[in-house]
Structure 1
Amino acid sequence: MKQALTFLTYPNGLKAILLLVLYLGVGFLSIQFAMLPSENFAVIWFAAGCGLVIMLELGKSGILLALVGSAILNTPTYYHFLSHSNTPYALPLSIILGIVPAAIDSWQAVMAAKAWQNFIDKNNRPPLQNPSDLPYFWRKICFMPALISMVIWHLLLTCSNTIPYAGLFTNLQQMLLLILGDTAGIFVIAPIYACWKSGELTNKFRPALPYFLALLFIVVLGFTVHNYLMMLVLPVLLLIAIHFRLAGTSIALFLLFTLSVMGTAYQSGPFIHFNPMISFINLQLFLFSVGLTLHYLALLQELLNQSKIQLETEVANRTEALAAANLRLEELVTTDELTGVANRREWQRRCEEAITYARRYQQPLSILLIDIDHFKNVNDHHGHLAGDLILKELCRICTAELRATDSFARWGGEEFVLLLPGTTQAEAMLAGNKLRQSVEEQAQVEFEEKKIRITISIGVAMLEDSDPSLDCLLNRADQAMYAAKAAGRNQVQCALSHTCYSR
């Protein structure tokens, strides 16, 4: 009992009041406009769907709320019937007849909510998100709770003579209408609740409003002007299902069910039969056929939209991965794998562009050819692993000394090249000496508990008008570098002007 009254606390109390008002409102709507003229029950019972919503929102504490709401709706109906038939003790009997069906309504809501929760437990998501959810929703959540509860309720109404026995076939028709009426209530209200919980209802309602107004207009014309105008609701409903999916479809079905039942109750429209029960059975067959189709189309459209988004995301991810792979491939093509600096081919490309620019705008340009002194001895005495560490250390020091416009690359083996755009021969000599000094002071590698130090020899050559190609410029820098080695290593030598050696 304590758990059942937890909805009285704030903010659950406010939610419970709103849900009770909703329950009573849609129940009154069904009683007022969907009551079978010759019987004492509504052919569409939207309160069944609200009972499911109450149970899903409040849990077990919603049982008492659903019980109270159903009793409030049912008791006046039974009192009106019993008092007009001059039944003794009409008031207490109507209260009893109101509470017992209310208990059945609450049990129906519990069954539907349990089926809803079982789906969540099994699939880790709410129902009505995929077309494959629909058979379970239609069968387990909508139909079975209504079937079980309404058979019992019909027997209760028959035994209490609230529904007079008029023959087996007639009573079966009454039972069918009761089952379909409660099934319709869950069938219509549950999708609205699902879309409200997901936030789609708020997003889709305003854009879909013109379509809803068109639907209302067509239904009114179909029940007042010409019956076959009702056929025009089908393309409108199709557009709603395509553009606004389940959120728009659920509201459209609520409007269609409500207006169609009201029109049929007032003996107008395309479903009229001389037997009122047959009229409503015809109506419900039409409404369920349309509703089942729209549910499927709406969720199929949602699935297609999700597949489109997923495909676009996958394409974007693969495009990004391809771009990253191309970038990596470009790095492999243009970068020396060991040292991480530019390789020979990439440096030649940059140098050719720089030479073209320098000649066009009469700008100076110099290159440095760098060779590690006694590198063969390092490999012979310490192994190639130590040699690799030396190469990496040299690249680290050299790249730290560069300007943004300079280009440093591994030429091959222990030889490196440095492009200095906008640099005269004198400036290049200064840059080379600074680089040589930094290497002499900083270049040190610890390998197998031994410290290995290195020096470098540098040849400098400046681009001249007499240089027919990059190869000639490189040849002069190469000769200058060998001159530095011949002079004792660990020094910088400048190439002779106007001389192009064959290498």
Structure 2
Amino acid sequence: MPATAFLVSYLCAGMLSIQLGTINPGNMGLIWLAAGIGLFTVLQLGKTGLIVVYLGSFAINTPYLFQGNWQPQIASILISGFTFAAIDTLQSYLAARAYQILSIHYGENMWRQPEVLPKIWFRVCFIPVMTTMPLFIALQITSGAIPVHLDSILIRGMILMLADSSGLILFTPLYPYLKSRTLTKEFLKPIYFLIMIPIPIIINYFILDRTLILLLPLMLYIAVRFKIAATNFSLLLITLMCIGLTAKGYGFVNPQNMIISLLQIQIFVFSITLALQYLAQTQTQIMHNQAYLEQEVKSRTDTLAKLNLELSILATTDELTQLNNRREWQSKAQAIFLNALRYQKNMSLMMIDVDHFKMINDQYGHLFGDQILKKIAHLCLINIRETDLVARWGGEEFVVLLPETTLEQAQIVADKIRRAIADNSFLAPKNQLMNTTVSLGITSLLKQDQTLDDLLSRADNAMYLAKANGRNCIQTDTPESAYLKIH
């Protein structure tokens, strides 16, 4: 099925080229669209594509060799048809091979770099034509299809080279879209602008001469906005209309110099094709670079935001226990303190110290001591409210701020924490189970308190009093409050 589809496409492209206009004798097309289809066919089908191109070329060219009294010359005509087909096939092979080499060398960047485009033109579109065209001209001369005059040979040779090169140049940039099956989508994008293209061409050929310049703003817009595929569709339409109308004698041309007029229109469309393709390719690179830069900026912004978050966490979090560090706790606690002071709300503060922690470190090592601190931090967290504020104060000390909490309520919370820690067993080195305890000092906000340090000082004194009174207990700083020791 693919081979049949490409064969039909090749035949249609060849017949359309012939119908648009030819130079007789020789039936030489002014634009050979089949060259581009031949490239597609070989690229897609490989060796099978070469057979398809050969059959297509033979079917298109051979019938035009049967002219005059052809019966006695049927053998030579068939040989010429086979030779024409072989030359076209060689051209398609050389173009496809050059395209594959460039594709391997540049990869996905092949159609993103404007500086690669001249290499594509030269290697894919010019060299195959320059290689095969002398063979084609020689065959035309041998068969008597063109007169043996130097001027005639040069002009017709130039026309043929432009015809085949234009066919390749117009189709080659569309191959990536054919391969990715997005050709129809790319064609529909600029459809409204494609409809506008015939207008200045019709004006030029039927109303006012030399107005093809009106195409320039429209084509510039298409090249910049829709890039290479849409540009090539537009150029293909312009080429077909201009060459077809010129060949049919429309427009302000001199019938006596028709060949020169055809050559001039070929050069015109060939020139704007190269210029606009390069512009479209440059725009593609600009858009690609812009998208890359935007992605790079976004990536780096995201990375910077992540690093800033990590830095913020490092600056405000105790690395070992993952609690707030002392500085962060003081910043948050100060706001809560000022709020309680202003609105005369209850507030309590608790200081916690791990009993005999130095002995634990000396006996079991600092790594085990770190495990105990992390576990105590966790037990503190799960025994307070979300609105309470806990931090590692330093070394083996912790501090807890309890907003809207009386001294009596703080004692209840402190006892929950004390019991949770005392009841927890730690697996020491050599699989020894051990328990540890904490001493807690608590205080509440008083009317005479002026700063947060007033509460911290009282809670700290109460904690040291608890340690002096046997540890594993809670001590308040209020003189009138009874001493509370819980075993």
Matched, 1:466 2:448: yes
Note the residue ranges of structure 1 that are not aligned, 5 or more in a row.
1-12
Tell me which moved more, 34-43 or 269-278. 269-278
Question: Judging changes above 3 Å, is the alpha-carbon distance between structure 1 residues 126 and 182 closer, same or farther for their aligned structure 2 residues?
Answer: farther
Q: 2:154 aligns with which of 154, 159, 172?
A: 172
Aligned residue pairs, count: 481
Tell me which moved more, 406-415 or 464-473. 464-473
Q: Confirm or deny: 8 A CA contact 1:390 1:445 kept in the other structure.
A: no
Shift of 1:90: 5.3
Aligned counterpart, 2:61: 74
Please give the alpha-carbon distance, in whole angstroms, between the structure 1 residues aligned to 2:4 and 2:338. Answer: 83
Q: 1:62 aligns with which of 49, 57, 66?
A: 49
Please give the alpha-carbon distance, in whole angstroms, between the structure 2 residues aligned to 1:197 and 1:361. Answer: 74
Question: What's the TM-score once normalised by structure 1's chain length?
Answer: 0.89
SS of equivalent to 1:459 = strand
Please give the alpha-carbon distance, in whole angstroms, between the structure 2 residues aligned to 1:151 and 1:419. Answer: 95
Aligned counterpart, 1:110: 93
SS of equivalent to 1:468 = coil
SS of equivalent to 2:250 = coil
Aligned counterpart, 2:249: 267
Aligned counterpart, 1:437: 419
Matched, 1:222 2:222: no
Question: Judging changes above 3 Å, is the alpha-carbon distance between structure 1 residues 183 and 195 closer, same or farther for their aligned structure 2 residues?
Answer: same
Q: 1:248 aligns with which of 206, 223, 230?
A: 230
Question: Judging changes above 3 Å, is the alpha-carbon distance between structure 1 residues 272 and 241 closer, same or farther for their aligned structure 2 residues?
Answer: farther
Tell me which moved more, 274-283 or 191-200. 191-200
Letter in 2 for 1:245: K
Please give the alpha-carbon distance, in whole angstroms, between the structure 2 residues aligned to 1:306 and 1:147. Answer: 34
Aligned counterpart, 1:48: 35
Shift of 1:182: 0.8
SS of equivalent to 2:418 = helix
Aligned counterpart, 1:304: 286
Aligned ranges 1:403-442 → 2 under 5 Å:
403-442=385-424
Question: Judging changes above 3 Å, is the alpha-carbon distance between structure 1 residues 39 and 65 closer, same or farther for their aligned structure 2 residues?
Answer: closer
Aligned counterpart, 1:333: 315
- 1:233-267 C-alpha deviation (Å, 9 max, x unpaired): 11111111100000111101101110111121023
Q: Confirm or deny: 8 A CA contact 1:75 1:98 kept in the other structure.
A: yes
Q: Confirm or deny: 8 A CA contact 1:76 1:94 kept in the other structure.
A: no
Please give the alpha-carbon distance, in whole angstroms, between the structure 2 residues aligned to 1:317 and 1:328. Answer: 16
Please give the alpha-carbon distance, in whole angstroms, between the structure 2 residues aligned to 1:497 and 1:280. Answer: 114
RMSD over aligned CA atoms reads: 2.4
Question: What's the TM-score once normalised by structure 2's chain length?
Answer: 0.92
- 1:102-123 C-alpha deviation (Å, 9 max, x unpaired): 1211111111111111112222
Question: Judging changes above 3 Å, is the alpha-carbon distance between structure 1 residues 154 and 140 closer, same or farther for their aligned structure 2 residues?
Answer: same
Please give the alpha-carbon distance, in whole angstroms, between the structure 2 residues aligned to 1:127 and 1:60. Answer: 24
Tell me which moved more, 348-357 or 98-107. 348-357
Aligned counterpart, 1:30: 17
- 1:449-493 C-alpha deviation (Å, 9 max, x unpaired): 666642110112222333222111222212221221122101112
Matched, 1:257 2:239: yes
Please give the alpha-carbon distance, in whole angstroms, between the structure 2 residues aligned to 1:97 and 1:331. Answer: 83
Q: Matched residues, percent identical?
A: 37
Question: Judging changes above 3 Å, is the alpha-carbon distance between structure 1 residues 48 and 170 closer, same or farther for their aligned structure 2 residues?
Answer: same
Aligned counterpart, 2:117: 134
Matched, 1:101 2:88: no
Question: Judging changes above 3 Å, is the alpha-carbon distance between structure 1 residues 40 and 457 closer, same or farther for their aligned structure 2 residues?
Answer: same
Aligned counterpart, 1:195: 177
Note the residue ranges of structure 2 that are not aligned, 5 or more in a row.
482-487
Shift of 1:97: 2.6
Q: Confirm or deny: 8 A CA contact 2:189 2:230 kept in the other structure.
A: no
Aligned counterpart, 2:104: 121
